[in-house]
Amino acid sequence: MSTNWWEDFFHGIALDFWRAAVTEEQTRVESDFIQKQLQLDSGAKILDVPCGNGRIALELAARGFNLTGVDLAAEFIGEAKTKSAERGLKIDWHNRDMRDLPWTTEFDGSFCFGNSFGYLDDVGNANFLKAVARALKPGARFVLDAPAIAECLLPAFEDRRWFEIGGITFLSNSRYDHEQGRTFTEYSFIRDGKVDKRPASQRIYTYNELVRLLGDAGFDTISSYASLSEEPFKLGSQRLITVAKKN
């Protein structure tokens, strides 16, 4: 498997599946949570990285915030640009690597949602967090959605999963490598009898490792939740959402 698997993964049917899987209600509820945790007034500058097709950025921009979105998937950025133009929303979109953030003390807050953390190697993941910290103003908050954390994933690890959404059958065949602390997965997307297989890998940090990474990047961890309703995070939680503040 290529170590840069993400460069070729996010296009075509994989993005169609994601579009079908995420509802407008989910976007609204996640946006409510992010807005509450960032503690910002209308007009504040917020960085969404990686932003995907901009679903949350679009929602927050419609609420009066000043959004910038960054994503490596050109197809998603193109879609985001079209949607913001259709809705008359001024959003600054950038098609670039999540580590390649050219701003310094520019933003009042930032978020990373959609299980997008951990694709890179340890140096790359650390560099991403450092890039976000560098782009934020002192005291700004960062909300990190990290469901692929060891305390969430490993207690109920499933090596095979499948389900159907929006006419696409999704299968995953995964293994966990304890020496590397990573999962290695082959995803299969099936539509109209055609099978599209794509490999992927993700670093599975423990909660303690993630907090240390955030600290090394210049963040203090404020809160860690197991859900959008602010349940406390614990072993066996299905999700981790961490709220951190730049020193």
* pTM higher than the cut 0.75: yes
Six-digit token pair at 106?
């520019």
Q: Side chain identity at 89, as an amino acid letter?
A: L
pLDDT at 138: 98
Nearest-angstrom CA–CA distance, 109 and 49: 11
Which pLDDT belongs to residue 1? 64
Tell me the CA distances in angstroms from 91 to 4, 39, 75, one per residue in order.
28, 20, 17
CB atoms within 10 A of CB 34: 26
In order of start, what are the domains of the chain with their CATH numbers? 6-148+206-246 (3.40.50.150), 152-201 (2.20.25)
What is the pLDDT, as a whole number, of residue 209?
Answer: 98
3-state secondary structure of 211: helix
**Mean pLDDT by groups of 10 residues along the chain of 247 residues:** 84 93 96 98 97 97 98 95 98 97 98 95 97 98 97 96 95 97 97 96 98 98 97 97 98
The closest alpha carbon to 228, from 71, 16, 56, 64, belongs to: 56
**pLDDT for res 3:** 75
CA–CA gap between residue 80 and residue 74 (Å, rounded):
10
Contact 241, 207 (CB under 8 A): no
The closest alpha carbon to 173, from 145, 201, 213, belongs to 201
The tokens 């992927």 sit on which residue?
Answer: 200
